[in-house]
Amino acid sequence: MIWLAMFAIIFLVLLFIHDSRQTKDPFLRRFPVLGWGRKTLVALGPFLRQYWFANDREETPYNRITRNWVYKTSKGERNNIGFGSQQDMDAVGSIVFLPTTFTNVATHLGDEVGHAFRRIIGGRGDVTPVALQNFVYISGMSYGALSANAVAALNLGAKKAGILHNNGEGGLAPAHNQGGMLIFQLGTAKYGVRDDNGKLDDKLLAKVGENEKVKLIEIKLAQGAKPGKGGMLLKEKITEEIAEIRKIPMGKDAYAPPRHEEFSDVDGLFDFIDHVRTVANKPVGIKMVIGHPKEIEAIAVKIAADLNRGPDFITIDGGEGGTGAAPLVLASHAGVPLKQALAITDRVLRKHNVRDHLALFASGKIATPADVAVAMALGADVVGISRGFLLALGCVQALECHTGACPAGIATASQSAQKAIDVEAASDRVANYATTLIKETQMLAESCGYTDPTQIKAKDVILQVEPGRFEYLADLSLIGGKT
């Protein structure tokens, strides 16, 4: 015990000397040793607030009500509530759907719902179109940003639920080979389909197209969480396997370029889409973040000029979208939010009479059936979800995705940490969440008198714009939507 006490005293003395002489932290320099108590409380703060201090509706990006709904749903438990909703319908920003009394003939008995959704993607050139049977898919999250077990569980869950799985811009990994249908995302760095110089390799792209599980190709122009910047994978998460798949060096942060070098305008974009579609022999779309409306206007004008060219689908990523790592200033202050971005895009495409010639995908902080239905009311045909599926895997919203220290073994490259994810069990949770999302969105559509959620219109949804006053989504400036 004496030796232990002496060791503790020596350690504290050395720590005092270190703290008082270091120059990075003024507070620690002013209060040596004691300052570490503050550091500990700051580090534990998110967890203390999450479990003890924050109320059920306070936390961001997803509050406890939303997280608990996903947790229960994904585990196959009853997600009904008792006594009444905890949502404050009088709060500014509250969304309310308008049910029908006499025209809701599509409603079914009990928990039963119908299924009328079917969307054809493609049809340009000689490429075989793809028929989607479900309106929810797993949005782009890369292998590397996520662990192998997490990716494998997502892909297997997608197979069980019959939905698409976007692989993200990190290339195809063995973890993607669980049988789920894929959207291959072609990012600015061309990970997975690039040569040793970082250029697009047509042979590798053709090989991706030959994969029967790859149904669509998505050219990523921008991401909602960091428009103007390419994807980033910090060196702490780069393993030898990831380096081999992406063809990048070990020991260095991997930064994708901010834009594709193959084009710099709409004409060049359409040429590139034609090239990718020809080489891969798959329907091709683009993923973009709405900035100045004139950009989507230029795309619509170009499609109208030749309906056989252009994207087969456009994915609109809202400025509130998630990320594994992004600069705070871009994640919080760049990119039009999803509701407004969707409405702008849908309105512009209809203005030029090209809306029916492509599909509109939506992604950005969507997690619940109401979120899905709002996106569809504003023009989306198909809705992508990322963080909701991470919650289904077991994410506890620790906000450590960028560090590699994810406590749930999801956003990490640690072999030991990812063992927390049992692929089979986690895939069941993914499938449960997806099927319930689809079912309850359909239930909401039937309550509004429709047989298909794509029939929901902006005039079927009202938004609290100030205390005591609601407005139709269709009437709001910069929102609008289908009428």
Residue of 124, 123, 138 whose CA lies nearest to 437: 138
Q: How confident is the model at residue 133 (pLDDT cuts 50, 70, 90)?
A: very high
Average pLDDT over residues 37-66: 71
pLDDT the model gives residue 329: 72
With beta carbons less than 8 A apart as the criterion, state whether 333 and 378 touch: no
pLDDT the model gives residue 155: 97
Q: Could you count the other beta carbons within 10 Å of the beta carbon of residue 455?
A: 17
pLDDT tens digit string along 320-371? 777 766 776 776 677 888 988 999 999 999 999 999 999 999 998 899 999 9
pLDDT the model gives residue 300: 96
Average pLDDT over residues 173-198: 92
Q: How confident is the model at residue 404 (pLDDT cuts 50, 70, 90)?
A: confident
SS3 169: coil
CA angle, residues 189, 192, 193, in degrees to nearest 5: 80
CATH class of 119-475: alpha beta
pLDDT the model gives residue 25: 75
pLDDT exceeds cutoff 60 at 477: no
For the entire predicted model, the pTM comes to: 0.86
Write down the domain spans for the chain: 2-51, 119-475
pLDDT exceeds cutoff 70 at 82: no
Q: Could you count the other beta carbons within 10 Å of the beta carbon of residue 339?
A: 25
pLDDT the model gives residue 482: 64
pLDDT the model gives residue 389: 94
Residue 190 CA to residue 188 CA, distance in Å, equals 5
Q: How confident is the model at residue 41 (pLDDT cuts 50, 70, 90)?
A: confident
R_g (Cα) of the chain, nearest Å: 24
Write out the two tokens for 17: 């000397």
pLDDT exceeds cutoff 70 at 479: no
Q: How confident is the model at residue 57 (pLDDT cuts 50, 70, 90)?
A: low
pLDDT the model gives residue 325: 67
3-state helix, strand, coil in the chain (%, to 5): 40, 15, 45
Write out the two tokens for 234: 């910090």
